[in-house]
Amino acid sequence: SAWSDSLGSQARSISVEALKPSDTFPRRHNSATPEEQTVMAKSCGFESLDSLIDATVPKSIRIGSMKFSKFDEGLTESQMIEHMQTLASKNKVFKSFIGMGYYDTYVPPVILRNIMENPGWYTQYTPYQAEISQGRLESLLNYQTLITDLTGLPMSNASLLDEGTAAAEAMAMCNNILKGKKKTFIIASNCHPQTIDICKTRADGFDLKVVVSDLKDVDYKSGDVCGVLVQYPGTEGEVLDYGEFVKKAHASGVKVVMATDLLALTVLKPPGEFGADIVVGSAQRFGVPMGYGGPHAAFLATSQEYKRMMPGRIIGVSVDSFGKPALRMAMQTREQHIRRDKATSNICTAQALLANMAAMYAVYHGPEGLKTIAERVHGLAGVLSAGLKKLGTVEVQGLPFFDTVKIKCSDAHAIADVAAKHEVNLRVVDKNTITVSFDETTTLEDVDKLFKIFAGGKPVPFTAASLAPEVQSGIPSGLIRQSPYLTHSIFNSYHTEHELLRYLHRLQAKDLSLCHSMIPLGSCTMKLNATTEMMPVTWPSFANMHPFAPTEQAEGFQEMFSNLGELLCTVTGFDSFSLQPNAGAAGEYAGLMVIRAYHLSRGDHHRNVCIIPVSAHGTNPASAAMCGMKIVSVGTDAKGNINIPELKKAAETHKDNLSALMVTYPSTHGVYEEGIDEICKIIHDNGGQVYMDGANMNAQVGLTSPGFIGADVCHLNLHKTFCIPHGGGGPGMGPIGVKKHLAPFLPSHPVIPTGGIPAPEKTEPLGTISAAPWGSALILPISYTYIAMMGSKGLTDASKIAILNANYMAKRLENHYPVLFRGENGTVAHEFIIDLRGFKNTAGIEPEDVAKRLMDYGFHGPTMSWPVPGTLMIEPTESESKAELDRFCDALISIREEIAQVEKGNADVNNNVLKGAPHPPSLLMADAWTKPYSREYAAFPAPWLRASKFWPTTGRVDNVYGDRNLTCTLLSVSQMAEEQAAASA
Amino acid sequence: SAWSDSLGSQARSISVEALKPSDTFPRRHNSATPEEQTVMAKSCGFESLDSLIDATVPKSIRIGSMKFSKFDEGLTESQMIEHMQTLASKNKVFKSFIGMGYYDTYVPPVILRNIMENPGWYTQYTPYQAEISQGRLESLLNYQTLITDLTGLPMSNASLLDEGTAAAEAMAMCNNILKGKKKTFIIASNCHPQTIDICKTRADGFDLKVVVSDLKDVDYKSGDVCGVLVQYPGTEGEVLDYGEFVKKAHASGVKVVMATDLLALTVLKPPGEFGADIVVGSAQRFGVPMGYGGPHAAFLATSQEYKRMMPGRIIGVSVDSFGKPALRMAMQTREQHIRRDKATSNICTAQALLANMAAMYAVYHGPEGLKTIAERVHGLAGVLSAGLKKLGTVEVQGLPFFDTVKIKCSDAHAIADVAAKHEVNLRVVDKNTITVSFDETTTLEDVDKLFKIFAGGKPVPFTAASLAPEVQSGIPSGLIRQSPYLTHSIFNSYHTEHELLRYLHRLQAKDLSLCHSMIPLGSCTMKLNATTEMMPVTWPSFANMHPFAPTEQAEGFQEMFSNLGELLCTVTGFDSFSLQPNAGAAGEYAGLMVIRAYHLSRGDHHRNVCIIPVSAHGTNPASAAMCGMKIVSVGTDAKGNINIPELKKAAETHKDNLSALMVTYPSTHGVYEEGIDEICKIIHDNGGQVYMDGANMNAQVGLTSPGFIGADVCHLNLHKTFCIPHGGGGPGMGPIGVKKHLAPFLPSHPVIPTGGIPAPEKTEPLGTISAAPWGSALILPISYTYIAMMGSKGLTDASKIAILNANYMAKRLENHYPVLFRGENGTVAHEFIIDLRGFKNTAGIEPEDVAKRLMDYGFHGPTMSWPVPGTLMIEPTESESKAELDRFCDALISIREEIAQVEKGNADVNNNVLKGAPHPPSLLMADAWTKPYSREYAAFPAPWLRASKFWPTTGRVDNVYGDRNLTCTLLSVSQMAEEQAAASA
Ligand SMILES: Cc1ncc(COP(=O)(O)O)c(C=O)c1O
Ligand SMILES: Cc1ncc(COP(=O)(O)O)c(C=O)c1O
Ligand SMILES: O=C([O-])O
């Protein structure tokens, strides 16, 4: 009771503490109450939570306590919202005509509310478990179909991080296609500046030479050119016929990459029809807010020929165990988690949620609706051009355009200043050049306002409306799109709000998310994504900022960046942060590039060896490979720790060329390695830098820190430890923190210069990592509010409870499954591995069988066969209640009993409840039941399922079939029938 | 294409029309495209939609066209949001200390996003179909348990409209309990003024005399007193021990009604322990925003003894066909839809969504959390009181208080003015009295600000924090709550965000809503509740206004009211509107009271006969009864039309005493009666007024209007025609429109005077109808944005398409089911009735069997056995696509085939797929299958169900069992077991 002596007695006074606001956040995020903490610690053999923690986290790396200069106590939920409103009010959202890959758009409200603001969509995990992910898999297949239809190329992936990195991935593909034999990549100067800079930065690692060239000057005479990148329409708006250009390139054996614009492609001849080999771009303007730079989905389309070189996740059609079409991620063997340094790319987390939004935008508008929007945008641009010509105060360029008008003038900056007074942003290309880009939200009134701005004080003797009838389409007839697109019924059915609403909900109902149950994926930290954290993301003052708006208009964002940078420095023990990398893998790449720049700055051009333990995540070697590093593997010992003697030997052997060690802490095995100090010292002693993979920060915050441990640089997966929801496979953010000596090298940006936060004294940026200056700025409020509401104590408690929860589960499970690795005192960190390898022999059971059977219990399987094949890695996080942990343990224990039945010969090795899992309703309710086990037991193996059950929608999906019969776009009904016939034949 | 001659040709100019913004709304709301309209009209035998409409709507009542002075063209979705933001910015949300039944509260963000902003919850219908409503039924049972636990009385209903009307309902109960023999009702003056006024207004109809009396002066000597109403804590804050008071009343045979406050009851002795007979109040401060007056859930609790007299819906525990506990609405025989003028009350639509929010607030906080909040509020009030005493500038009253401090001062208005400068609102009780009410959102800083305000410029030599330690609880020990509450596990499990999130989603998953499929309830108009319409509802500038804030702070609301009033006048052909009634039935009552006041004003005291056709909705006679009117029924003819000769005779017979006719148009039978002109004339000729029930406005808007037809007054169910979602049984709004001669009598309000919009020249208000001046103001933006985005053409098209859709369905179904009533040209209006009466004989099938079987097809059944027993009434609305209509028709046709199988003797009369419906998974997946039909057919009778199926969660629920064994609160686990054992015994 708040009253010192309970309300019942005579003298009852109240404490000031009890009068503080009551809507505190940590108790909503952290699960276990103090009483539960003690009960759970005791069950693990410790007197208290703190003694469990003391026994778990090595003393040598334990920090005293963490203290923030701001928000140390933690704001309450309502205080947080108020603070965010204050920040929001400091952003001045001007009308943007800047273009450059970012356009204002109307997010259809039904999509806003039912996807972007809906935890049923945004808390989903990447669809590795296909049978409980058919909803978003369908939506991503729609996305791939949208991309292939509009680009005119037959294959697309399910999103990349942004247009700039997509172009860089395409560049890498060209290099690969030509087997690394031609080392020049040409970029036409009509590409966006950020695209050019990202490719330049990226080229280094592949030892590619980038030549930026005027289109007309492009030449392949050197014979050393692997590819050429052009933009269509160009960054300054021009719409050119690339027919001859492509022919010429192909004649020289050069691959053509085209960066393009989806809206333009609804009316322009598609790149595929010019013969482009690879097409990239952003789907942002399809209903995804600009968000001061992101997140949005980029795309990459190519031909089937290059499918094995395609970066990123691809959704494909396969069949399930009943022979019915079912979707899944295709050709995973290309990806870093399998191929490691030989992977096509380091990309892991992508932009699934945003790809889904863009796909649904296309579903809602349909081909006709999209074309109407495009024609309107083009029409308004035509009116602007006609009006400016009439006005005569500036000179309008003569080339055909789609949405962007290029203007020559005597003082571009002066005009931009006038525009700013009208709360309008123009793009100043140079002192005599302005471009004006239109979008879906542009109105006739906007055009009138522009006339006024360009009239320079003179009266405008016409209106936009009055000019319209005289305006002609500016698209040359040869470039007008003739080919149909989006003819599939999905793009032609859901054009009313009710129809789309129901389509969204039908898909959602097929997908398990954190709204249903815990998703205890080791290494992924699927914790609570609290509503208060999510709310500011869709506020217009954050969502509608153009990333290249003058920074003084974005004071709210800038203040948040500066606060967040400082908070993250405190959390990590670093001196400066870059918020540019927009995924964990991008952070790794950026971090290694920082190390590389550092060595280069010291003349150490030869330092290019990167030591990586075999237990590292696939992105680590893939990222190192992208930096041109030579990878040296070191093994682990029986306890799962890095083999220190081996590491020492490797470091000493490569002493002269040692660049870096990549190390995850606690280890990917879920253990706090006691030798981490020593490991850091070995690397430093041999001239290397320590890169720490921060994916496991959830076991560090407030207890230790990368900086304290001795790392020089580290990325944070804000979508793990810092509450950005996984969105079914993205978005994420991978900011990097560095020690002081590395701060000067943090990435910058060609349009809006950036660097470390707090800013170091001098800067020597490594180049550009992401298309937007601060990456996916729109989702930074999530991590920011999380930290600010938790305060230092709440965050530290979170780490402790995350560790407690893992140990509690390990304890409950250890009598049923071997727990693979433990620390010195027998405890695990925030995650742990159970070993299923034995069951292969005793019962023919594989980890996959257990994961699929878990679906029948209403759960998403843990991380499977990584980092150790044949195992499951479980990470409960601090947000899961004891009741939920118990339910999950009960399920696993019950499954262990099911395995025992096979072991004992009571169940058939090939035909048992595990091999038959998951069991969808179509099977369970079929008239014929031919399984040797009971229907009821298949469906309801645990009591809670009677009260509420999540149903898998397909039988087990066949991975091999799908990869053999690759289909990555929507099937028409007739194709569906063929597919099914073929599969059952 | 937007380009006049397609982009392909040479001369391609664009029209200004094509340059208008493209995010128009009507095409998202109205389903059928122009092409579909023609196809569908043709299938009904008409050349075009317009010719179908011309044949359907009688010429004599057809208006030329509707034209708005504002928004006639319709705003686009983004323009609408901009307009609403402008309005929102005109509301100045001051910190409110006004109290009076409305308190600021923190809506837990997880509840905000997952209930209030979630179409999965807000688009649900009233849970008449229990098997697909177990989620909200559980939540409402939680609500009832919350109310009974806190009030200390054993029975609660599932919400009433507001505290004031709840008190009036309680008054009516007292009258009923004493069988109308004691005609005085005493109201203590310590009740809220709006409560007093509503009771006074309401008393008239029951012929009750209301005496408002100081508590100490209450006396029962007359022997004529049926009940007494007191408030606890009192409106000015005092917390009194009512022990003696109740004893004294009971000794005189007087029933005691207590109005109370839920938060206070977490620390105060509950009314039930004083012996109160009926307890009423509002659950608003349990996490429901003030919303400038509503919507919020009110409650009424009483003892089992009075259960049959309880107004409103009650949720009860029963069993399903497998003997398992299952929930449903209990004792429906009390309600107007069955008992009509003999009903306990006219209430129909209540406040289900808000009751759910309040219940979830209690679930989230739990008993300890609620008590913490209460003690904090009380502590802060204590600090204020202590500080003011120290300051000495005003005099603090001496009585014990919970959250409200009463202050005597020399110039209350002067202090309030100072407060307003600090953006603070106080309650000025009279020129020497102020009260300050605290709530969950009050902070120590607020208290400091109040000190500053009350210090009148003098320095404040202390802070709130510094005073806290010396402050004592002001609650007398005899009034401190000792009894436990909310001990059920549901209130003690879901205190973290993840746990609550999942609880909400588990419940949601059990309930069918518009997110799944059409809900074609005749008379209920379950149309699209568009996201854009819903968005402003949860904006803080609308949501957080106190209803008694000075109107100059609520300019945004006021401007909206004025625009909306004008728009509704245009839509209805009336001259003035009252936005006070907060449900349809409240509108009926208000409208009849207007008519009554009109007659009285002319000296026609004797005019008290109300003619009501037998086909009228139950609320009509129930409302008329509440106005003390004598009801005369008239029948219908074979075609379903009012029997005009009979009506004429009745009117003439009662010529001298005729008050009104209540008529629904089109009729509740779904027909445009051709005689409506004549009917109005007959009534007018005989001195009566025509009251039109506007529930069927969806067939009138833009085509005709009540005013044009000849009605004098009409209510609109904004939750039908004007897009307020049904919320699982409320909220709603029932504003009334009137002709000029009635405008002066529109309701006012004792705190903030109101009247007609636009305002008539003179006013003679009938009294007060609802607790808040403009009813549930917070949901008015929904209807406002609907009208403003549709524009006059969009709205007219909506009516046409609603009619088209009904005719299309009737046509498809007529070969399978008799369509009961049609207009002159063989068409139906916006809804139609199919006749199932024959199947009783041919196959033993009842409408209920068809409705339950429809669940297996994924649909909510249509309106059952109303207005004609043995039938289903289908209303598709304009928002349903042809594809959806076809799916529903396919289901009904397939069910007809299932009936035919019984008729043919192929299926057993008592054991067939209809009688066995619905089929929940627990049955379908049971090992044993004993039904004579196939599992698979039971589960998947239509192809679309394979792609996506909504599962009923229980077998058919037994209504009779539940009413015989009435349980209206949560069962503990042991009770559950007993219940189950008893049921199966
Ligand atoms: C240990 C580890 N490192 C790096 C990554 C890559 O992060 P991202 O997916 O954000 O690119 C992951 C992602 O799962 C990881 O678990
Ligand atoms: C014809 C008719 N009149 C009146 C009402 C009562 O409206 P409410 O439920 O808003 O009180 C209804 C509600 O279903 C109705 O259908
Ligand atoms: O499933 C595949 O498309 O490979």
Nearest ligand 3 atom to the CA of A318 is 1
Question: Does residue B919 register a pLDDT over 70?
Answer: yes
Question: Does residue B107 register a pLDDT over 80?
Answer: yes
CA torsion sign for B385, B389, B394, B400 is: positive
The pLDDT-based confidence of A2 (bands split at 50, 70, 90) is low
Q: In what order do the strands lie in the sheet with A255-261?
A: A155-156, A298-302, A278-282, A255-261, A225-232, A184-188, A209-213
Q: In what order do the strands lie in the sheet with B832-835?
A: B832-835, B871-874, B863-864
Interface contact flag, B925 A939, Cβ < 8 Å? yes
Average pLDDT for residues A602-624, to the nearest whole number? 96
> Separation of A383 CA from ligand 3 center, angstroms?
46
Binning chain A into helix, strand and coil, the percentages to the nearest 5 are 45, 15, 45
Say what the pLDDT of residue B339 is: 85
CA angle A696–A698–A701, rounded 5-degree value? 115
The helix/strand/coil state of A778 is helix
Q: In what order do the strands lie in the sheet with B658-664?
A: B576-578, B736-738, B713-715, B689-693, B658-664, B609-613, B630-634
Tokens representing A860 are: 């998403």
Would you say the CB of residue A963 lies under 6 angstroms from ligand 3? yes
Which residue in the block uniquely carries the two structure tokens 């992101």? Answer: A294
Say what the pLDDT of residue B6 is: 45
Interface contact flag, A936 B946, Cβ < 8 Å? no
Which of B335, B336, B521, B523 has most ligand 2 atoms within 8 Å of CB, for mutation? B523
Q: Which residue is closest in CA terms to ligand 3's atom 4?
A: A963
The pLDDT-based confidence of B980 (bands split at 50, 70, 90) is low
Interface contact flag, B482 A8, Cβ < 8 Å? yes
Say what the pLDDT of residue A333 is: 81
B709-761 pLDDT, tens digit per residue, is 999 999 999 999 999 999 999 999 999 999 999 999 999 999 999 999 999 99
Average pLDDT for residues A397-416, to the nearest whole number? 97
Say what the pLDDT of residue A341 is: 87
Could you say which of B28, B465, B949 has the minimum Cβ distance to residue A16? B465
Between the alpha carbon of residue B288 and those of residues A630, B314, B351, the distances in Å are: 61, 21, 11
Say what the pLDDT of residue A10 is: 47
| pTM greater than 0.90 | yes
The helix/strand/coil state of A497 is helix
Question: Does residue B693 register a pLDDT over 70?
Answer: yes
Note whether A319 and A131 are within 8 A (CB): no
Would you say the CB of residue A583 lies under 6 angstroms from ligand 1? yes
Nearest ligand 1 atom to the CA of A583 is 10
Across chain B, mean pLDDT equals: 96
Interatomic CA distance for residues A138 and A155, integer angstroms: 16
Which residue from A minimizes the CA distance to B527? A498
Which residue in the block uniquely carries the two structure tokens 């050019």? Answer: A196
Note whether A534 and A782 are within 8 A (CB): yes
Quote the DSSP letter at residue A757: B
> Separation of B586 CA from ligand 3 center, angstroms?
60
φ/ψ of residue B794, rounded to 5: -60, -40
Single-letter amino acid, residue B107? V
B117-127 pLDDT, tens digit per residue, is 999 999 999 99
Tokens representing B322 are: 């497998």
Interatomic CA distance for residues A268 and A255, integer angstroms: 21
Nearest ligand 1 atom to the CA of A588 is 4
CA angle B180–B183–B187, rounded 5-degree value? 120
SS3 of B856-883 = HCCCCCCEECCCCCCEEEECCCCCCCHH
Question: Does residue B829 register a pLDDT over 50?
Answer: yes
The pLDDT-based confidence of A254 (bands split at 50, 70, 90) is very high
Question: Does residue A275 register a pLDDT over 60?
Answer: yes
Note whether B8 and A476 are within 8 A (CB): no
Among all bound ligands, the one having the nearest atom to the CA of A965 is 3
The helix/strand/coil state of B232 is strand
Interatomic CA distance for residues B504 and B138, integer angstroms: 11
Say what the pLDDT of residue B332 is: 87
Interatomic CA distance for residues B120 and A344, integer angstroms: 42
Shortest distance, CA A34 to any CA of chain B (angstroms): 14
Interface contact flag, A22 B376, Cβ < 8 Å? yes
Give A-chain residues touching B27 at CB under 8 angstroms. Answer: 495-496
Would you say the CB of residue B765 lies under 6 angstroms from ligand 2? no
Would you say the CB of residue A667 lies under 6 angstroms from ligand 1? no
Q: Which helix (H) or strand (E) holds B706?
A: helix B706-709
Interatomic CA distance for residues B441 and B104, integer angstroms: 6
B225-250 pLDDT, tens digit per residue, is 999 999 999 999 999 999 999 999 99
A537-552 pLDDT, tens digit per residue, is 999 999 999 999 999 9
The pLDDT-based confidence of A9 (bands split at 50, 70, 90) is very low
Shortest distance, CA A177 to any CA of chain B (angstroms): 37
Note whether A459 and A120 are within 8 A (CB): no
Quote the DSSP letter at residue A189: T
Give B-chain residues touching A93 at CB under 8 angstroms. Answer: none
ipTM of predicted assembly, 2 dp: 0.97
Could you say which of A113, A881, A947 has the minimum Cβ distance to residue B496? A881
Of A18, A464, A879, A960, nearest to B471 by C-alpha is A18
A888-939 pLDDT, tens digit per residue, is 999 999 999 999 999 999 999 999 999 999 999 999 999 999 999 999 999 9
Interatomic CA distance for residues A401 and A385, integer angstroms: 10
φ/ψ of residue A273, rounded to 5: -75, -15
> Separation of A295 CA from ligand 1 center, angstroms?
17
Q: Lowest-pLDDT range, A536-545, A617-626, B8-17, B292-301?
A: B8-17
Interatomic CA distance for residues B789 and A497, integer angstroms: 14
Among all bound ligands, the one having the nearest atom to the CA of A155 is 3
Interface test with B, best of A443, A462, A496 (most B CBs within 10 A): A496
Which residue from B minimizes the CA distance to A475? B7
Q: Which helix (H) or strand (E) holds B401?
A: none
Average pLDDT for residues A430-443, to the nearest whole number? 98
Interface test with B, best of A4, A5, A7, A111 (most B CBs within 10 A): A7
Of B309, B251, B301, nearest to B273 by C-alpha is B301
B733 alpha carbon, distance to own chain's centre: 7
Note whether A361 and B3 are within 8 A (CB): no
Interface contact flag, A496 B465, Cβ < 8 Å? no
Give A-chain residues touching B28 at CB under 8 angstroms. Answer: 110, 495-497
Give B-chain residues touching A380 at CB under 8 angstroms. Answer: 19
Interface contact flag, A8 B477, Cβ < 8 Å? yes
Exposure on the CB side of residue B679, measured as CA atoms within 13 A: 31
Quote the DSSP letter at residue B277: S
Length of chain A, in residues: 985
The pLDDT-based confidence of A980 (bands split at 50, 70, 90) is low
> Separation of A328 CA from ligand 3 center, angstroms?
7
Interatomic CA distance for residues B752 and B190, integer angstroms: 19
Q: Is the previous residue joined to B233 through a cis bond, with omega within 30 degrees of 0?
A: yes
Question: Does residue A788 register a pLDDT over 80?
Answer: yes
Say what the pLDDT of residue A330 is: 94
> Separation of B619 CA from ligand 2 center, angstroms?
7
Strand partners, B261: B282
Question: Does residue A977 register a pLDDT over 90?
Answer: no
Strand partners, A185: A210, A227
- Give the distance between the most distant pair of CA atoms in chain A: 97
Between the alpha carbon of residue A648 and those of residues A94, A662, A683, A823, the distances in Å are: 57, 14, 8, 21
Among all bound ligands, the one having the nearest atom to the CA of B616 is 2
φ/ψ of residue A433, rounded to 5: -135, 130
B589-602 pLDDT, tens digit per residue, is 999 999 999 999 99
Average pLDDT for residues A125-152, to the nearest whole number? 98
Say what the pLDDT of residue A1 is: 54
Say what the pLDDT of residue B910 is: 97
Say what the pLDDT of residue A6 is: 44
Strand partners, A835: A871
Burial of A552 (0-12, 13-18, 19+ CB in 10 A): exposed
A689 alpha carbon, distance to own chain's centre: 27
Would you say the CB of residue A663 lies under 6 angstroms from ligand 1? no
Nearest ligand 2 atom to the CA of B693 is 3
Binning chain B into helix, strand and coil, the percentages to the nearest 5 are 45, 15, 45
Strand partners, B259: B231, B280
Kindly provide the residue ranges of all beta strands, DSSP E only, lying in A773-931, ordered along the sequence: 832-835, 863-864, 871-874
Strand partners, B511: B133
Give A-chain residues touching B530 at CB under 8 angstroms. Answer: 109-110, 497
Interface test with A, best of B1, B14, B378, B913 (most A CBs within 10 A): B14
Note whether B41 and B49 are within 8 A (CB): yes
Could you say which of B3, B112, B505 has the minimum Cβ distance to residue A516? B505
Interatomic CA distance for residues B352 and B358, integer angstroms: 10
Give A-chain residues touching B539 at CB under 8 angstroms. Answer: none
Which residue from B minimizes the CA distance to A499? B881
The pLDDT-based confidence of B472 (bands split at 50, 70, 90) is confident
Interatomic CA distance for residues A404 and B280, integer angstroms: 64
CA angle B295–B107–B327, rounded 5-degree value? 65
A640-678 pLDDT, tens digit per residue, is 899 999 999 999 999 999 999 999 999 999 999 999 999
Number of H helices, E strands in chain B: 35, 25
Burial of B883 (0-12, 13-18, 19+ CB in 10 A): middle
Question: Does residue B9 register a pLDDT over 70?
Answer: no
Give A-chain residues touching B445 at CB under 8 angstroms. Answer: none
B34-83 pLDDT, tens digit per residue, is 999 999 999 999 999 999 999 999 999 999 999 999 999 999 999 999 99
Of A298, A283, A558, A292, nearest to A425 by C-alpha is A292
Give B-chain residues touching A951 at CB under 8 angstroms. Answer: 951
Average pLDDT for residues B916-922, to the nearest whole number? 97
Say what the pLDDT of residue B336 is: 81
Question: Does residue B3 register a pLDDT over 60?
Answer: no
Of B703, B500, B512, B706, nearest to B591 by C-alpha is B706
Could you say which of A118, A926, A936 has the minimum Cβ distance to residue B936? A926
Shortest distance, CA B579 to any CA of chain A (angstroms): 28
Interatomic CA distance for residues A160 and A481, integer angstroms: 26
Would you say the CB of residue A730 lies under 6 angstroms from ligand 1? no
Note whether A136 and A124 are within 8 A (CB): yes
A922 alpha carbon, distance to own chain's centre: 34
Note whether A205 and A175 are within 8 A (CB): no
